[in-house]
Structure 1
Amino acid sequence: MKQALRVFFLLVLLLPGIAFAGPRIERVTSASGIEAWLVREPKIPMLALQAMWRGGTASDPEGQQGRAALAADLLTEGAGDLDAEAFQSALRDGAISLDFDASRDYLSLSLRVLNDQRQRAFDLLAQALTAPRFDDEPIARVKAQAEAAARRALNNPGSMVNRRFLATAFPNHAYGRESSPTLESLPNLQRADFAAYSRAVLARKNLVIGVVGDISPDELRKLLDASFGKLPAESSLVQPPVIVPKTTAKPLIVSYDNPQSMVVFGGPGLLRDDPDYYVATVLNYVLGGGGFNSRLTEEIREKRGLVYSVGTQLHPMLSAGLFMGSLSTRNDQAGQALALVREAFARIAQEGITDQELADAKAYLTGSFPLRLTSNGAIAGMLAAMQASNLGPDYIDRYAEYIEAVRIEDIRRVAQRLFASGDLLVVVVGKPAGIDG
Structure 2
Amino acid sequence: MTPRHTRLFAASALLALACPKPSVPPADAPALMPFPAAMPEVTPDYTWSPPPPEVVTTVAGSQLWHVHRPGLPLVSVRIILPGGSSVDPESQPGLTAFSDDMLLRGAGDLDAAAFSAALQAEAIALSVVTGRDRTILSLDCTVETLPTAMSMLHRAVTAPRFDPDETERARVQRIQSRKDALDNPRSVASAVGWQEFFGADHPYAHPPMGTAESLITPSAKDLADSWRQRAHPAAARWVVVGDIKVEAARTLIADHFGDWTSKQTAPPSLPPPPGLTAPAARGGRVMVDNPGASQTVLRVWMPGWSASDPHRVAGDLGTVVLGGTFTSRLNALLREEKGYTYGARAGLTNGRGYGTITVSTNV
Matched AA of 1:190? S
More helix, by proportion: 1
Displacement, 1:292?
2.2
**CA shift in 2, pair 1:224/1:310, >3 Å:** same
Length, aligned pairs only: 315
**CA shift in 2, pair 1:16/1:204, >3 Å:** farther
Displacement, 1:261?
0.7
> Is structure 2 residue 118 aligned with structure 1 residue 83?
no
In 1, Cα distance between equivalents of 2:317 and 2:249: 38
Aligned to 2:323: 288
Aligned to 1:179: 208
**TM-score, normalised relative to structure 1:** 0.66
Contact 2:80–2:134 (CA<8 Å) still a contact in 1? yes
Displacement, 1:37?
2.2
Displacement, 1:279?
4.2
1:236 corresponds to which of 268, 279, 295 = 268
Q: Which runs of 5+ in 1 are unaligned?
A: 1-13, 330-437
Contact 2:126–2:137 (CA<8 Å) still a contact in 1? yes
2:249 corresponds to which of 220, 238, 243 = 220
**TM-score, normalised relative to structure 2:** 0.78
Matched AA of 2:328? N
In 1, Cα distance between equivalents of 2:95 and 2:136: 15
Greater Rg over alpha carbons, structure: 2
In 2, Cα distance between equivalents of 1:105 and 1:62: 15
Displacement, 1:198?
1.2
Matched AA of 2:342? Y
> Is structure 2 residue 342 aligned with structure 1 residue 308?
yes
1:285-335 deviation per Cα after TM superposition (whole angstroms, max 9, x unaligned): 4433454231x3233222211112212222222242222111111xxxxxx
Q: SS at the partner of 2:307?
A: coil
Displacement, 1:185?
0.5
Q: How does 1:1-400 map to 2 (within 5 A)?
A: 15-23=43-51, 25-30=53-58, 32-171=60-199, 172-229=201-258, 230-232=260-262, 234-244=266-276, 246-247=279-280, 248-294=283-329, 296-329=330-363
In 2, Cα distance between equivalents of 1:24 and 1:321: 24
Deviates more, 1:251-260 or 1:304-313: 251-260
Contact 2:58–2:253 (CA<8 Å) still a contact in 1? yes
Displacement, 1:183?
1.5
Q: SS at the partner of 1:200?
A: helix
In 1, Cα distance between equivalents of 2:273 and 2:74: 40
**RMSD between superposed Cα atoms in Å:** 2.4
Contact 1:201–1:237 (CA<8 Å) still a contact in 2? no
Q: SS at the partner of 1:153?
A: helix
Displacement, 1:21?
4.1
Displacement, 1:109?
1.0
Contact 2:334–2:340 (CA<8 Å) still a contact in 1? yes
Contact 1:151–1:183 (CA<8 Å) still a contact in 2? yes
Matched AA of 2:113? E
1:121-147 deviation per Cα after TM superposition (whole angstroms, max 9, x unaligned): 222222211121101121111111112
Contact 1:34–1:225 (CA<8 Å) still a contact in 2? no
Contact 2:60–2:233 (CA<8 Å) still a contact in 1? no
Higher RCO (C-alpha under 8 Å, 6+ residues apart): 1
Percent of residue pairs bearing the same amino acid type: 30
Matched AA of 1:155? D
Displacement, 1:31?
6.2
**CA shift in 2, pair 1:151/1:227, >3 Å:** same
Contact 1:45–1:114 (CA<8 Å) still a contact in 2? yes
In 1, Cα distance between equivalents of 2:316 and 2:115: 43
Contact 1:284–1:290 (CA<8 Å) still a contact in 2? no
In 2, Cα distance between equivalents of 1:66 and 1:83: 24
Deviates more, 1:193-202 or 1:224-233: 224-233
In 1, Cα distance between equivalents of 2:53 and 2:313: 23
**CA shift in 2, pair 1:114/1:264, >3 Å:** same
In 1, Cα distance between equivalents of 2:303 and 2:92: 27
**CA shift in 2, pair 1:48/1:18, >3 Å:** same
**CA shift in 2, pair 1:45/1:298, >3 Å:** closer
1:88-144 deviation per Cα after TM superposition (whole angstroms, max 9, x unaligned): 232233332222121222111111233333222222222211121101121111111
Matched AA of 1:30? T
**CA shift in 2, pair 1:309/1:90, >3 Å:** same
Matched AA of 1:132? P
Matched AA of 1:287? L
In 1, Cα distance between equivalents of 2:335 and 2:160: 50
Aligned to 2:36: none
In 1, Cα distance between equivalents of 2:131 and 2:253: 24
